[in-house]
Amino acid sequence: MSAGRSVERDVKTMAMGLDAIEASIALIEGNTKIQKALKNRLSRLRVAKAALINDPKNSADLIKRYKGNK
């Protein structure tokens, strides 16, 4: 995750789960006129999906730590 991103938002997105992330990506990509906010959301979803696929153990640990701090 890059430095300019909100870790809290990224963790919330990862907590949705891979199926929900993929469904959201498909829904947004189906929209031909994407606003700036949706572009940012799509970017966040793609990063979260990659994190969950590439490193599921660390992603799960990050989600647990985040939920424990709430």
User: For residue 3, what pLDDT is reported?
Assistant: 46
| Domain residue ranges in the chain | 7-69
As a dihedral over the C-alpha atoms of residue 30, residue 25, residue 27, residue 63, rounded to 10 degrees, the angle is -170
User: For residue 2, what pLDDT is reported?
Assistant: 47
**Of 45, 53, 9, which Cα lies nearest the Cα of 27?**
45
pLDDT along the chain (70 residues), means of 10: 68 90 91 84 92 91 82
**Phi, psi for residue 52 in degrees, rounded to 5:** -65, -35
User: For residue 31, what pLDDT is reported?
Assistant: 80
